Amino acid sequence: MAKGQIRKALSGFYYVYADGETYQTRARGNFRNKNITPLVGDEVEFKFDSLTEGYILAIEPRKNELIRPPVANIDQAVLIISCKEPNFSENLLDRFLVYLEYNKITPILYFTKTDLLDEVGYERIKGYADYFMKIGYHVLLPKFGQSDELVGEISALFHDKVTVFMGQTGAGKSTLINKISPELDLKTGEISQYLGRGKHTTRHVELIPLEGGLVGDTPGFSAIDIPQMELPELSKQFIEINEASDYCKFRECKHVHEPKCEVKARVEAGEIAQERYDNYLQILSELENRKPMYGKNKR
């Protein structure tokens, strides 16, 4: 019996790192019977006959887990935000942030492809970046006309952390990781001119030792599912809305039609961005109209 961490999952095999060695393992059938799937990042107990013959016996409790991408026990996520090709979408950004906040993963916002912007476009993006920085997020925005001078600032954040890179397809995740550590030589793809979307180039999730921590490159996607949550939970995933909620007249205020709502007052005063509030309302409406999922565990 040994203990280790799953660092890669590929074609039904789980590659477990323990004491300086990597073991190729499979999951015992009882996991399937219990509807449990081992994830990259899991701390596990396993036994082995050799480096290529092993079985996972137990999975330690997870502090968090994501299904898209399938990875567990994450400390932080570098959220890659494309400014152009594909174009910047604040709605998509807010959905990623709700996803991460709900799963207790610290977001780091990194804007890519700023070198493709003209001055007007750059100032628009800078306005968004300044706002997210003001409300408390760690934001990395390259200077006008540049695209990668902040690579060193990102890699300095990896130490003793499990970090995943996330973002829409074609946003430049693999390209950025290659700039941080060229020897990784992760496969990169070109943007489809016809669709304006990227081709999926990352086929599996893998945690790679880098700068004193572990980082993962994960498949990109251009849409994201909002987690199943109770309606009052949503406002807690928006930092500035959650802070203002303490001053609303009603404890369970949804910040829609209620009187003496501090959130609406701050939106009107320009202290909370109108776009953020609009995205909150859109997601709230989706949750209200979502059919209940019976048999699902609630937090």
Q: What is the phi/psi pair of residue 129, to 5°? A: -60, -45
Tokens of 140: 């990395």
Q: Is 146 a known ligand-binding residue?
A: no
Q: Is 168 a known ligand-binding residue?
A: yes
Bridge partners (DSSP) of residue 214 are 162, 209
Give Cα 4 distance to the centre of its chain. Answer: 24
Q: Is 261 a known ligand-binding residue?
A: yes
Q: Is 171 a known ligand-binding residue?
A: yes
Q: Is 188 a known ligand-binding residue?
A: no
Q: Is 248 a known ligand-binding residue?
A: yes
Comparing C-alpha atoms, which of 224, 191, 174, 299 is closest to residue 69? Answer: 224
Cβ-contact 158, 209 below 8 angstroms: no
Q: Is 253 a known ligand-binding residue?
A: yes
DSSP H or E run through 163: strand 162-166
Q: Is 282 a known ligand-binding residue?
A: no
Cβ-contact 26, 9 below 8 angstroms: no
Tokens of 29: 């059938």
DSSP H or E run through 90: helix 90-102
Q: Is 172 a known ligand-binding residue?
A: yes
Give Cα 170 distance to the centre of its chain. Answer: 15
Surface-to-core class of residue 20, CB atoms within 10 Å of its CB (0-12 exposed, 13-18 middle, 19+ buried): exposed
Q: Is 298 a known ligand-binding residue?
A: no
For residue 200, the tally of other CB atoms under 10 A from its CB is 12
Distance CA 54, CA 17 (A): 12
Q: Is 198 a known ligand-binding residue?
A: no
Distance CA 83, CA 113 (A): 6
Q: Is 170 a known ligand-binding residue?
A: yes
Q: Is 83 a known ligand-binding residue?
A: no
User: What residues form the annotated binding site for GTP?
Assistant: 112-115, 167-175
Would you list which residues are annotated within the binding site for Zn(2+)? 248, 253, 255, 261
Return binding residues: 112-115, 167-175, 248, 253, 255, 261
